Amino acid sequence: MPVISPKATPIYQTSVFTFNDLNELETYFEQPGNRYMYSRYANPNSDELANEVNALEGGAGAIVTSSGMSAILAAILAVCKAGDHVLCAEEIYGGSSVLITQELSRIGIEVTYVPSADTYSFDALVQPNTRLFLAETMSNPLLLVFDINRLAEQTRKHNIKLVVDNTFATPILTKPLLLGADIVIHSVTKYLSGHSDVTAGVVICKAAEDLQRVQKVMMTYGLNLSPFESWLAARGLKTLRLRMKQHCANALDVAEYLASHAKVEQVWYPGLSAHPQHRLAYEQGGGMYGGMLSFRIADDTEAVNKFMRGLEHIPFAPSLAGVSTSISYPLGTSHRSLSKEQQQKIGITAGVIRLSVGIEEPEELLTDLERGLSKL
């Protein structure tokens, strides 16, 4: 029989792996990682994806999960138990906020939101049972850039874990573990996979003991990723570096265009010199600023509707980071569950539109955006 050496990893579309006898079964338990037993525990495809992401982030290891939300859940439950306390950045993805405030609170995990002004001076908010601080490299949707080094100094001072959602930046721009974070999470659904055809997440840990806990949570709660989606995500990951360069270049062109447009009242993009963390974003991103931006037109939902209907090629899709550009509406999608007071406090008003800039020719994007804005 010829030796089979495929260049691309095959899809191991199986739920279970076989053993010859009880001796092989005992070897599996005595020497973890030497073979596979059940795809909820591990699978060659999910391991390939985890190893590739871990290599990019520079961690001790990674665990892939069924979605970005399950990655956040696994990271928190790996560190916290009932009776513990979590600090969370005030500007955070709405789904993260709902998970902590509405669901984890039901099992006895408390949360305090840290105002942006206190991001690096939150001593008064730390409690004896505080276990971790959750933040994003760049906040969703208004692109506040966090100084991971400074944040890590503060969390180390209080002996709490720093968990960073690196979805917007990706390890092509920023590697939070190298800047002092303890755990990094991604919605693989977004840039890592990159083609809007996968739902997945990943948790990368600096310490082996944290990795073991994340793996235990993933296995026990059944948060595993399927072999096929693991394979798809690993395939998409191969072009991440190329895609991010084009996402970033296009986003800067679009941000500069919108910032000079008479019908646009404000633009949030770290690549603009007017952005309050522009220099920090330059340093943490190696001169790239990501493919996400938000902008505000008149605070009127009908104005937003006119703009959306005026677009011919950019769809309204409540997700992000595909190769094709799309727009989203934070007030009605990602941050819908926040109270009106919370929405207003962090600046998410009726006219705020989030733009996920794809890798098309930038002239095509500017033409379509002008077409939409002309309807206002």
Q: Which amino acid is located at 188 in the chain?
A: V
Please list, in sequence order, all residues whose beta carbon lies within 8 angstroms of the beta carbon of residue 369, skipping any fewer than 6 positions away: 254, 257, 258, 311, 314
d(C-alpha 52, C-alpha 234), whole Å: 8
Catalytic residue among 12, 47, 93, 206: 93
Name the β-bridge partners of 356.
292, 326
Is 300 part of the annotated catalytic residue set? Answer: no
Q: Tell me the C-alpha distance between 50 and 63, whole Å.
A: 6
First to last CA, the chain: 68
Cα distance between residue 131 and residue 133, in whole Å: 7
Q: Give me the catalytic one of 131, 175, 190, 213.
A: 190
- Residue 194's Cβ-side half-sphere holds a number of Cα atoms within 13 Å equal to 22
Among residues 12, 131, 165, 182, which one is catalytic? 165
Strand extents, DSSP E, 248-369: 266-268, 292-296, 326-328, 352-356
State the residue for tokens 């207003």: 344
165 is catalytic: yes
**How far is C-alpha 312 from the chain's CA centre?**
28
302 Cα distance to chain centroid: 30
Is position 279 annotated as part of the catalytic site?
Answer: no
How many whole angstroms separate alpha carbon 271 and alpha carbon 264?
17
Which are the catalytic amino acids?
A: 40, 93, 165, 190
